[in-house]
């Protein structure tokens, strides 16, 4: 079991296409984003509902409607997306088993349960470090890394892909681009 869900990965990858750094596609439908990334449309729709509720994306209506970022990509951290999709759950849930040691008979001595559990303390430090790191990185940072390694015309290909999809819908073509 992983702490951060697959939904966060799907959401982040799809949100990258809404950044101006990576590829300025403007508004994008969940269906198009799902097809582009090869992820389940219904699941992505649920993720984008969570992202909208968290104020990270906004829905636009109409034939060219879809989703766009609610604020600039440099103001949306990876942590924001994690919390929007997975919630603000703790990394570790201490069960305080230190008081249950068999040698204590019926009651643990005060020294055994004094202060924060040492295991829980380490886990809290790890969680704090992880959250700090996730807050340091924004969508803009991630998109910039992709731009740095992708061919110069990659963004143009993405923009064209979305434009072709929109043209197909307006012309009455199904999602695959073939006439009905």
Among the listed ranges 63-67, 84-88, 106-110, which one has the minimum average pLDDT value?
Answer: 63-67
pLDDT at res. 159: 85
Q: Is 116 exposed, middle or buried (0-12, 13-18, 19+ CB in 10 A)?
A: exposed
pLDDT single digits (tens) 108-137:
888 888 888 999 999 999 999 999 999 999
Answer yes or no: is pLDDT of 140 > 60: yes
Residues 95-116, mean pLDDT to the nearest whole number: 85
Which domains are present in the chain? 6-89+138-170 (1.10.10.10)
How far apart, in whole angstroms, are the C-alpha atoms of residue 103 and residue 15? 54
Contacts of 86 (CB under 8 A, 6+ apart): 4, 5, 7, 8
DSSP state of 55: T
Provide the pLDDT for residue 21.
66
Q: 104 pLDDT exceeds 90?
A: no
The mean per-residue pLDDT over the stretch 53-73 comes to 88
Q: H or E segment at 44?
A: helix 41-53
Q: Which of 3-12, 23-32, 91-100, 114-123 has the lowest mean pLDDT?
A: 23-32
d(CA 96, CA 127): 18
- Whole-number pLDDT of residue 23: 60
- Using 50, 70 and 90 to split pLDDT, how confident is the model at 1? low
């Amino acid at each position: 079991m992983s702490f951060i869900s697959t939904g966060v990965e799907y959401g982040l990858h799809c949100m990258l296409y809404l950044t101006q750094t990576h590829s300025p596609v403007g508004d994008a439908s969940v269906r198009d984003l799902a097809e582009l990334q090869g992820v389940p449309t219904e699941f992505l729709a649920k993720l984008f509902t969570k992202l909208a509720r968290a104020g990270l994306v906004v829905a636009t209506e109409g034939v060219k409607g879809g989703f766009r970022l609610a604020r600039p990509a440099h103001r949306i951290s990876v942590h924001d997306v994690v919390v929007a999709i997975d919630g603000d759950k703790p990394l570790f849930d201490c069960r305080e088993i230190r008081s249950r040691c068999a040698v204590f008979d019926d009651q643990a001595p005060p020294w055994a349960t004094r202060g924060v559990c040492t295991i829980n303390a380490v886990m809290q430090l790890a969680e704090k470090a992880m959250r700090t790191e996730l807050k340091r990185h924004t969508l803009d940072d991630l998109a910039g890394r992709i731009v740095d390694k992708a061919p110069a015309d990659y963004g143009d290909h993405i923009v064209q892909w979305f434009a072709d999809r929109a043209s197909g819908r307006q012309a009455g073509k199904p999602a695959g681009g073939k006439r009905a």
